[in-house]
Amino acid sequence: MVLAGKRFENMDGVNTLKSFKELRQWQKERRTKIKDLSFTVPTCERKAVDFLRSNREQTSITWIGHSSFLIQMGGVNLLTDPVWAERMGFARRLSPPGLRLDELPPIDAVLLSHSHYDHMDMRTLRAWKSAQLFVPAGLGPKLRAKGFVSVTELSWWEQAQLGGLELHFVPAQHWTRRTLLDTNRSHWGGWVIQPAQLGEARGAVYFAGDSGYFPGFRRIGERFAIRYALMPIGAYEPEWFMSAQHVTPEEAVQAFLDVQGDVFIPMHYGAFRLADDTPREALDRLLADWRRRQLPEQALRVLQLGETLV
């Protein structure tokens, strides 16, 4: 049960909120930087639309862009943090969504990691008013007030059942705000999706949401047998401002090792300019650290927009 007026916190009381003075300092720094924004994340030329519409057996992961994925598992179609918005604030989207809305199969459920606008876009969500929504604790009343009737709230380490799947809401280190009055009034986290009858197979998909680097990654790895880890790599610069709430690419690699995943799929880059880093910089740092650690090439899958991994 979530008490009205409750404010949520991070593990160990870590504070991710910044002062207005710090925000002004960042904006002053930003004006001095010259960035090359010419690189655009490529879109897959051979989208698996027909396969996605008919698939009822195989696990598949399709990157829509930013933190939006279509995940198919056990005959269930899931969307994570669906955002088809063309703008974020005053800035235009840097790259189009990998699939159009009319190219998606019927969606059974939507998983939200938190309420920030680049993860919860109300205009997009209206396309699935009849779908089941699984959301962090504290977010249910806002969504029900908008007309969504099938909303399930979860706190950290709680789980819900959907068909033959288990949906586990797991910790992240972040924060939430949509207005000046609702800071941290709803929670934040990631999702682990796995078959209810997992057996000995490593079949779980871990969607990390938004997070700074924190001990929770190791705890998640201790609890679940993760095959695919969908990890954020962007919106980390300047690190003095962003580090508590967004991992760097190098920290994302360490988090992947902490959760003991088999395959790393990067996300949270390329769609919106939320910080000073560029999509090219995020990818270059990710690849450099991957090679420095001499990790297997086949364990890193950098998807194109609209690309499906089966």
**Any idea where the domains of the chain sit in the sequence?**
49-309
In the predicted structure, residue 1 carries a pLDDT above the cut 50: no
Could you read off the pLDDT of 16-30 as tens digits, one per residue? 989 999 999 999 999
- The beta-carbon contacts of 284-287 under 8 Å, at least 24 apart in sequence, are 285/233, 285/248, 285/249, 285/250, 286/233, 286/249, 286/250, 286/252, 286/253
CA distance 98 to 217: 28
**In terms of DSSP bridges, do strands 60-65 and 308-309 run parallel, antiparallel, or are they unpaired?**
antiparallel
Residues 34-90 pLDDT 10s: 999 899 999 999 999 999 999 999 999 999 999 999 999 999 999 999 999 999 988
What is the architecture of the domain spanning 49-309? Answer: 4-Layer Sandwich (3.60)
pLDDT at 236 over 80: yes
**From its phi and psi, is residue 302 left (phi > 0), alpha (psi between -120 and 50) or beta?**
beta
Quote the mean pLDDT of the chain. Answer: 94
Residue 215 has pLDDT above 90, yes or no: yes
**Secondary structure class of 151 (helix, strand, coil):** strand
Q: In sequence order, which residues have a C-beta less than 8 Å from that of residue 118 and are 6 or more positions away?
A: 66, 67, 83, 88, 271, 272, 274
Q: What share of the chain is helix, strand, coil (3-state, %, to 5)?
A: 25, 25, 55
